[in-house]
């Protein structure tokens, strides 16, 4: 027993160090891990009444699960720094029919790893699995989880979803932000052209991140988004949110800790702090919108703040709820779109044949000499669409989707998943499964072209081995917004420039090491030399 507790302590220590890398000395971290372990063991002892073998426990115990479970931390020690990879390997060994149960700390979590199990969860029983587990951090950052992504399934969420799909992210609205997208595209192309003239490299990671951030800031808060460096501040705050939401949060796996006020105060202090900073900034932005006269709008398209204020009464939205939607829209859209953009360029650089073919398509279809390629020029670019689809297959920004939660007992293929179980759908594993994909590790856009093995597939949630945006009620409502941005930017990058690896990367190639947070992203910067073609 002492040996297993020691192992649990060691793993807890690693996890705490990961969560609080800069704030704790080794001694303080070891002490914190010991305190957490003692508290958890005590709480477990106190809670170990006959009710622990409830009907729910009995159902859980029938689900396929790895045998090596430690006290307190459960299977957490089996999950490495790239959870989607560990989960795929564990499921191959211990899963049955695409289902596997892991005890992540105190939280039973079902991992879905086959298209048929994904279909059962996201389509057949979608209504049962459409809720979200509680997250102490999300609760602070999103004003009591009152945002569309983390709010539990129910009437309130339905209203938010309606606002998103009928007011904020309709095709018409997405088209109306076109001017903002093209303006930001122009800024980026100009910067790259300057570098090309000077024969220097560009940090494309940074440029694309900035582009994506600015397009969203513009959509959310209109023309004033750059005043007083607000776009930079919004980006900084967004990055802090991502780090907090994506880190290993002890309180998510040991919810009992989040209930202890003193522990909550310590663990959630950073989230409180960033929420305060968001609140100040959003109050200013909302106030500026409220006090702006119609005559000052100068024909400008209404932004997310205008839209939310205009439907406030109709949907009975509180001020906090409006702020929660603004924070989540920036969070949900910016990072995901930037990651896809960067990976498209990474894959094009790693596959010169594909880059050449894409350039040929783009430069044949679009007349020479355009200052900027607009969204009108994109129809008919079938290889471009195939390149983006293939990038989304290999590099889903959210490899485990956002966690789902069951709200009733539900039978799937002979197993019963009890109510209140957290469910992760490993779409990364589904999209690389050799049972469903030919040469799954290869970047082959042709598979999505006419005559290819995946020609009929789209990302609209109908093909359960290919779900980069999820499927069902909780599916991403921002696909059109994202596609408008990604297609436009990639086309401009390959239309205007030829690309070479920067000298720093020329010898060693592009490092594909990734980190997992809320989203999955590369660690190293993409440094490239742009060349203006003759
Ligand atoms: C390439 C870019 C994007 C990718 C890959 C992506 C992917 C996803 C995924 C996987 C989910 C979770 C689905 C689930 O839990 O089952 C999601 C949810 C969501 N996405 Fe996106 N997304 C992208 C862009 C956007 C954009 C541009 C917006 C908004 C402007 C957006 C807004 C949302 C919202 C609001 C949700 C939560 C829906 C809900 O819980 O009801 N996303 N997205």
Beta pairing partners, 529: 500
Ligand 1 centroid, distance to 476 Cα (angstroms): 4
Binding site as annotated, residues for heme: 476
Question: For ligand 1, what atom is nearest to the CA of residue 402?
Answer: 15
Q: Is 528 in the pocket of ligand 1 (CB under 6 A)?
A: no
Tokens of 332: 């949900």
Residue 320 near residue 160 (C-beta atoms within 8 A): no
pLDDT class for 496, splitting at 50, 70, 90? very high
Residue 531 near residue 499 (C-beta atoms within 8 A): yes
CA angle 429/434/437 to nearest 5° reads 90
Q: Is 173 in the pocket of ligand 1 (CB under 6 A)?
A: no
Average pLDDT of the residues in 282-299: 79
Residue 417: name the closest of 161, 203, 155, 100 by CA: 100
Beta carbons within 8 Å of 375's beta carbon, 6+ residues apart: 178, 181, 182, 484, 487, 488
At 105-118, the pLDDT tens digits run 999 999 999 999 99
More confidently predicted of 50 and 65: 65
Using the predicted structure, report yes or no on whether residue 492 has a pLDDT greater than 90. Answer: yes
CA angle 87/433/242 to nearest 5° reads 45
Ligand 1 centroid, distance to 336 Cα (angstroms): 8
Q: Is 401 in the pocket of ligand 1 (CB under 6 A)?
A: yes
**352-365 and 382-394 are packed helices; what angle lies between their axes, rounded to 10 degrees?**
150
Q: Is 115 in the pocket of ligand 1 (CB under 6 A)?
A: no
Question: Which three-class secondary structure state does DSSP give residue 423?
Answer: strand
Ligand 1 centroid, distance to 326 Cα (angstroms): 14
Ligand 1 centroid, distance to 400 Cα (angstroms): 12
Burial annotation 436-475 (CB, 10 A radius, 16+ → b, else e): bbeebeebbbbbbbeebebeebebebebbbbbbbbbbbbb
Whole-complex ipTM:
0.99
pLDDT at 22: 47
Neighbours of 6 (CB within 10 A): 11
Using the predicted structure, report yes or no on whether residue 21 has a pLDDT greater than 60. Answer: no
pLDDT at 506: 83
At 452-480, the pLDDT tens digits run 999 999 999 999 999 999 999 999 999 99
In order of 227, 292, 332, the CA distances from 295 in angstroms are: 20, 8, 32
Question: For ligand 1, what atom is nearest to the CA of residue 397?
Answer: 5
Residue 9: name the closest of 43, 32, 25 by CA: 32
Percent of the chain with pLDDT over 90: 73
pLDDT class for 23, splitting at 50, 70, 90? very low
**Out of 224-233, 337-346, 479-488, which region has the weakest mean confidence (pLDDT)?**
224-233
Per the prediction, the chain carries an average pLDDT of 90
pLDDT class for 260, splitting at 50, 70, 90? confident
pTM value is: 0.91
Ligand 1 centroid, distance to 332 Cα (angstroms): 6
Residue 408 near residue 461 (C-beta atoms within 8 A): no
Q: Is 247 in the pocket of ligand 1 (CB under 6 A)?
A: no
CA angle 471/476/477 to nearest 5° reads 120
Using the predicted structure, report yes or no on whether residue 48 has a pLDDT greater than 80. Answer: no
């Amino acid at each position: 027993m002492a040996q297993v507790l020691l192992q649990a302590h060691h793993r807890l220590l690693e996890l705490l160090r990961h969560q609080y890398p800069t704030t704790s000395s080794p001694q303080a971290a070891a002490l914190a891990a010991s305190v957490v372990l003692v508290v958890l063991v005590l709480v477990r002892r106190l809670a170990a009444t006959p009710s622990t073998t409830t009907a729910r426990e009995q159902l859980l115990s029938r689900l396929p699960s790895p045998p090596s479970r430690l006290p307190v931390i459960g299977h957490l020690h089996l999950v490495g720094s790239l959870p989607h990879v560990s989960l795929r390997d564990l499921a191959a060994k211990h899963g049955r029919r695409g289902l596997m149960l892991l005890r992540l700390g105190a939280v039973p979590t079902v991992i879905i790893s086959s298209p048929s199990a994904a279909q059962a969860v996201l389509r057949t029983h979608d209504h049962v699995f459409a809720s979200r587990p509680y997250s102490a951090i999300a609760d602070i950052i999103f004003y009591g989880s009152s945002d569309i992504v983390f709010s539990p399934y129910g009437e309130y969420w339905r209203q938010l979803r309606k606002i998103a799909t009928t007011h904020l992210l309709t095709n018409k609205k997405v088209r109306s932000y076109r001017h903002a997208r093209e303006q930001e595209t122009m800024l980026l192309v100009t910067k790259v052209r300057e570098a090309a003239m000077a024969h220097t490299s560009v940090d494309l990671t940074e440029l694309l991140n900035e582009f994506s951030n600015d397009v969203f800031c513009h959509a959310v808060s209109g023309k004033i988004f750059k005043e007083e460096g607000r776009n930079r501040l919004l980006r900084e705050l967004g990055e802090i949110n991502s780090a907090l939401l994506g880190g290993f949060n002890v309180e998510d796996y040991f919810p009992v800790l989040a209930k202890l006020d003193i522990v909550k105060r310590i663990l959630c202090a950073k989230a409180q702090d960033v929420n305060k900073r968001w609140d100040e900034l959003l109050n200013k932005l909302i106030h500026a919108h409220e006090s702006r006269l119609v005559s000052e709008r100068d024909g400008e398209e209404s932004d997310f703040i205008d839209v939310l204020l205009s439907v406030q009464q109709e949907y009975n939205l509180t001020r906090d709820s409006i702020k929660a939607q603004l924070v989540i829209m920036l969070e949900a859209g910016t990072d995901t779109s930037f990651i896809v953009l960067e990976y498209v360029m990474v894959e094009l650089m790693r596959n010169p044949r594909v880059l050449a073919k894409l350039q040929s398509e783009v430069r044949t279809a679009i007349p020479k000499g355009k200052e900027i390629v607009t969204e009108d020029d994109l129809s008919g670019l079938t290889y471009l669409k195939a390149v983006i689809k293939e990038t989304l297959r290999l590099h889903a920004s959210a490899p485990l989707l956002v966690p789902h939660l069951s709200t009733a007992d539900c039978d799937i293929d002979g197993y019963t998943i009890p109510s209140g179980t957290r469910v992760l759908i490993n779409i990364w594993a589904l999209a690389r499964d050799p049972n469903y994909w030919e040469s799954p590790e290869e970047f082959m856009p042709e598979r999505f072209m006419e005559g290819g093995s995946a020609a009929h597939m789209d990302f609209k949630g109908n093909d359960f081995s290919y779900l980069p945006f999820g499927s069902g009620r909780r599916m991403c409502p921002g696909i059109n917004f994202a596609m408008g941005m990604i297609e436009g930017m990639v086309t401009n990058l390959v239309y205007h420039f030829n690309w070479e690896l920067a000298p720093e990367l020329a010898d060693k190639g592009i490092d594909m090491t990734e980190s997992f947070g809320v989203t999955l992203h590369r660690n190293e910067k993409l440094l490239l030399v742009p060349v203006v073609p003759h």
